[in-house]
Chain A
Amino acid sequence: MEIYGLAVLTALFLLGETIGYSLGKLLNVGDVGGVGFAMLFLILLTNTKYWNEKVSEKTKLGIKFIGAIYVPIIVAMVLQSNIIGAFKGGFIAFLSGGIAVVGMLLLTPLLSKYAKIKK
Chain B
Amino acid sequence: MWLIDIIKELLTKNGLIWAFLIVGVIYVASMYLNKILFKGKLNTFTIAMIIAMIISGLVGAKTGKTKGLADIPLFAGVGVLGGSMLRDYAIVATAYGAKIEEIKKGGLMAVISLLVGVVGSFIIGVIIAIAFGIKDVKDITTIGAGACTFIVGPVTGESIGASSQAIALSVAAGVVKSVLAMILIPTLGKALKINTPQAAMVVGGLVGTTSGTVAGLTALDPNLVPYGAMTATFYTGLGCLLCPSILYIIARAIFGA
Which residues of A are interface residues toward B (Cβ below 8 A)? Answer: 9-10, 12-13, 16-17, 20, 23-24, 27, 29-36, 38-40, 42-44, 46-47, 60, 63-64, 66-67, 69-86, 88-109, 111-112, 114-116, 118-119
A84: chain B residues at CB < 8 Å are: 57, 60-61, 66
Which residues of B are interface residues toward A (Cβ below 8 A)? Answer: 19-20, 22-24, 26-27, 45, 48-49, 52-53, 55-57, 60-61, 66-71, 78-79, 81-83, 86-100, 103, 105-106, 108-109, 112-113, 116-117, 120-121, 124-125, 128-129, 132, 134, 143-144, 146-148, 151, 155, 168-169, 171-182, 184-185, 188, 192-194, 196, 198-199, 201-203, 206-207, 209-212, 214-215, 218, 222, 225-226, 229-231, 233-234, 236-238, 240-241, 244
How many whole Å from B233's CB to the nearest CB in chain A? Answer: 4
**CB–CB B206/A79 < 8 A:** no
* Contacts A/B (CB < 8 Å), 28 sampled: A17-B88, A30-B240, A32-B240, A36-B233, A38-B92, A39-B98, A75-B27, A77-B83, A77-B87, A77-B211, A78-B215, A86-B175, A92-B173, A93-B169, A93-B175, A97-B146, A97-B180, A102-B184, A103-B121, A104-B206, A105-B188, A107-B113, A107-B116, A107-B206, A108-B203, A115-B201, A115-B202, A119-B105
B226: chain A residues at CB < 8 Å are: 39, 43
Alpha-carbon gap, A101 to B244, bound state (A): 21
* Top 7 A-B residue pairs of the complex, sorted by shortest distance between their CB atoms: A89-B172, A76-B82, A97-B176, A32-B237, A93-B172, A70-B90, A77-B82
**CB–CB A72/B27 < 8 A:** yes
Alpha-carbon gap, A42 to B116, bound state (A): 27
How many whole Å from B171's CB to the nearest CB in chain A? Answer: 7
**CB–CB A105/B237 < 8 A:** no
B206: chain A residues at CB < 8 Å are: 104-105, 107-108, 111
**CB–CB B68/A82 < 8 A:** yes
CB-CB nearest in chain A for B132: A92
**CB–CB A81/B103 < 8 A:** no
Q: A32-B234, A112-B196 are in contact. Are A39 and B66 (CB under 8 A)?
A: no
> Interface residues of A: mostly helix, strand, loop or mixed?
helix
Alpha-carbon gap, A93 to B179, bound state (A): 12
Alpha-carbon gap, A95 to B23, bound state (A): 32
How many whole Å from A22's CB to the nearest CB in chain B? Answer: 12
Q: A42-B95, A63-B96, A81-B53 are in contact. List 12 more A-B contacts (CB 8 A).
A: A10-B89, A29-B155, A30-B155, A72-B23, A86-B172, A86-B176, A91-B132, A94-B176, A97-B180, A99-B128, A100-B121, A111-B206
**CB–CB B24/A72 < 8 A:** yes
Q: A38-B92, A76-B23, A115-B199 are in contact. Are A96 and B66 (CB under 8 A)?
A: no
Alpha-carbon gap, A59 to B189, bound state (A): 34
A118: chain B residues at CB < 8 Å are: 105, 108-109
A70: chain B residues at CB < 8 Å are: 87, 90-91, 93-94, 225
